[in-house]
Chain A
């Protein structure tokens, strides 16, 4: 159902894209728009980000708590978070191996494939954590996925790393056959947890 949802906070005076309202609150601006699904909210947040706004994103369905937080005096924390993400972006790194699509011929084969999958997830997690450490970037907790892992990194918007840079920094682990997908830049969604 279509309803007004909060998209996030930005500093007062920034001009939002058409169709997005900016409600002045406590010296900041709360952006909101009509949206039906969480996916719509993410798309609108991305639109704000693409237009150059420094957006402190809120998770979907958070219009009331956002207003409450500002009215109850969380402005200092909010301002501090906004300052921390000014000029920053998030990139997501998905390192994975393709899952075998063929059916295993025996239970033992199936167990072997499951073990391989778990080993690969652990390897991917190790590699991604090491990469974030090497690049000295703030990182989200790594998320294990079947046959791989995902991590979100906070990077400067004007200095996004390329896949070549990432490959160059790759550690000694054998990642033959793996695929690294760099997705982004996004607004720093994974780094605005206090207001999610």
Chain B
């Protein structure tokens, strides 16, 4: 097994522009839940059709911003 390892501080992750790490930060912000579904239709072990569905479920308040006291 050969895995490339790297470490990143929280500060570096917060300032990064790498999409992948922005995703990690975003998930911490609790914007919502992403439901991802994938379906293959295969015949004789040959993939013929792929159906993918991504759904973002979030509380409206989290998307629209904070309410005032």
Contacts and interface: CB of A to CB of B under 8 A. Distances in A.
A60 B66 contact: yes
Give the dominant DSSP class at B's interface: mixed
B3 A175 contact: yes
A91 to B, nearest CB: 9
B25 A39 contact: yes
B5 A180 contact: yes
Contacts of A144: 36
Interface string A73-116: 00000000000000000001011100000000000101110110
B20 A42 contact: no
Nearest to A196: B30
Interface string A162-184: 11101100101111111111111
In the complex, which range does the number of interface residues on chain B fall in?
35 or more
Contacts of B1: 170, 172-176
Contacts, number: 122
B21 A183 contact: yes
A69 interface: no
Contacts of B9: 183-184
Instruction: Tell me whether chain A's interface is mostly helix, strand or loop, or mixed.
Output: mixed
A59 B30 CA distance: 7
B47 A42 contact: no
B2 to A, nearest CB: 5
A163 B7 contact: yes
Contacts of A1: 65
Interface of B: 1-11, 13-14, 20-21, 23-25, 27-31, 36, 38, 40, 46-48, 50, 52, 61-62, 65-69
- 9 nearest A-B residue pairs (beta carbon): A61-B66, A163-B5, A111-B47, A59-B30, A179-B4, A38-B29, A64-B69, A175-B3, A183-B8
10 contacts: A5-B66, A41-B29, A59-B29, A63-B66, A64-B67, A118-B38, A145-B20, A162-B7, A179-B4, A185-B10
Interface of A: 1, 3, 5, 38-39, 41-43, 46, 49, 59-64, 67, 92, 94-96, 108, 110-112, 114-115, 118, 143-145, 150, 152, 162-164, 166-167, 170, 172-186, 189-190, 196
